[in-house]
Structure 1
Amino acid sequence: MAAGPSFELEREHPGPVVGVDEAGRGPLAGPVVAAAVVLDHGRVPKGIDDSKKLSEKVRARICEELRAVALVGVGIATVEEIDEINILWASMLAMERAVAALGVAPGMVLVDGNRCPRWTHPSRPVIGGDALCLSIAAASIIAKQERDRMMIEYDRLHPGYGWASNKGYGSRAHMDALVRLGPTPLHRRSFAPVAQQVLAL
């Protein structure tokens, strides 16, 4: 098996082939963000890999290059939607919105994970897809970069929780601030650590 993601899966399907991934299932605060990417096989930025394996600097560089040469759609599910329909279905909703934002009818959608949204597109779940499939890896980079950018902005609006660095995940500093300052409107009240602080108010 080739090291790193490749076009092997894309070549099995008619085009356009869309890679989809999301960022932000686990954090206590902020939206979940999904990206959908159709790569131009002749113009693929160097270094595409699972976003978790890349430094912030490399992710930022690849994200900028992807937006210049690939078809990219981004979809967001809000904190309110996460609390209303749960994080799984909010993630699926963000994926649906990301694919819709592309403005093209996919020949196949390759989705990172073990299930696909309830849509009419031909689609296929790919477990560990961000490490196997270039289109999914590209989507993982876009989704993470977009969500990180949002959380840095939210950190300016709600200082004290360390979102610029922890991106809303339950770090020690974030948990301490949650106890000290209480939850913000951007905290996911359906998540147990936040719900406990809401009850403590």
Structure 2
Amino acid sequence: MSSKTFPTLSREQELWASGSRFVIGMDEVGRGAIAGPVAVGVALIDRSDPRARTPWPEQLCDSKLISEKIRNQIVGPVTEWVVGSAVGMVSAAEIDSHGIIAALAKAGAMALDDLLADAHLRAQIVQDGATIILDGSHNWLGAMASGIPVVVQTKADRDCVSVAAASVISKVQRDNFMIRLANETPGYLFEGHKGYASGAHIDAIRTLGPSVHHRHSWLTKILADEQLEGIGE
């Protein structure tokens, strides 16, 4: 664990000091996969809530830096530590139809809609202010932010507690979705690679052809054009 960089509340505290009572960490999972949905998670921290002054699960960090076993162990405590969380997912078919950036924005909007379904919370945000910390180098959420200001930070999933929490929550939920998908669509080994382009996954696509859960427009470098013809008709 000593080689890992663990997140802090420093950025969230800066935003609290600037006037936002709520900070919403946001992170995506599955952007680079060739099958399955892209997922966007949100995790809300409230400076007025006692949980903001208590330690978060000590193994919490960017979901890419911890094992599946650890993620599954801490996702419950992480979900309990934050004030609220949600995950939005957009299918492979929609990614093919509209592109990954539009899919990310839609998934982020879905997660925010779920998080803000509580009318009391929405009223508090309007009254006391909120800011979204978006992991990355550009604001792919754009106009889908529900009117909430967005700050973009590279490596926020590594450095910011709220974003690390969103990272773990969304990663576990998407992984569980891919495991269920493996039971429904056997042969592609989704339960292992979770839709990413492993050697075993590519071999399965070449043997079985793409499934309806694959991002067909992403497979042109893997499969010959004629293998893609007629898929989904």
What does 1:40-189 correspond to in 2, within 5 Å?
40-43=51-54, 44-70=56-82, 71-103=84-116, 104=122, 105=125, 107-116=130-139, 117-119=141-143, 120-189=147-216
Between the two proteins, the alignment pairs up a number of residues equal to: 199
Please tell me whether the aligned partners of residues 36 and 214 of structure 2 are also in contact (alpha carbons under 8 angstroms): yes
In 1, Cα distance between equivalents of 2:215 and 2:157: 26
Residue identity (%)? 33
Match of residue 32 from structure 1? 38
In 1, Cα distance between equivalents of 2:67 and 2:57: 15
Instruction: Give the C-alpha shift of residue 199 in structure 1.
Output: 2.8
5+ long unaligned stretches in structure 2? 46-50, 117-121
Question: Alpha carbons of 1:194 and 1:109: their partners in 2 closer, same or farther (altered >3 Å)?
Answer: same
1:31-56 C-alpha deviation (Å, 9 max, x unpaired):
00111001331342222101011111
Please tell me whether the aligned partners of residues 49 and 137 of structure 1 are also in contact (alpha carbons under 8 angstroms): yes
Select the residue among 11, 14, 20 that pairs with 1:12.
Answer: 14
Instruction: Give the C-alpha shift of residue 195 in structure 1.
Output: 7.8
5+ long unaligned stretches in structure 1? none
Please tell me whether the aligned partners of residues 29 and 186 of structure 1 are also in contact (alpha carbons under 8 angstroms): yes
Structure with higher Rg: it is 2
Please tell me whether the aligned partners of residues 35 and 195 of structure 2 are also in contact (alpha carbons under 8 angstroms): yes
4+ residue runs over 4 A deviation: none
In 2, Cα distance between equivalents of 1:195 and 1:97: 31
Q: TM-score, normalised by structure 2?
A: 0.80
- Equivalent AA in structure 2 for residue 172 of structure 1: G
Q: TM-score, normalised by structure 1?
A: 0.92
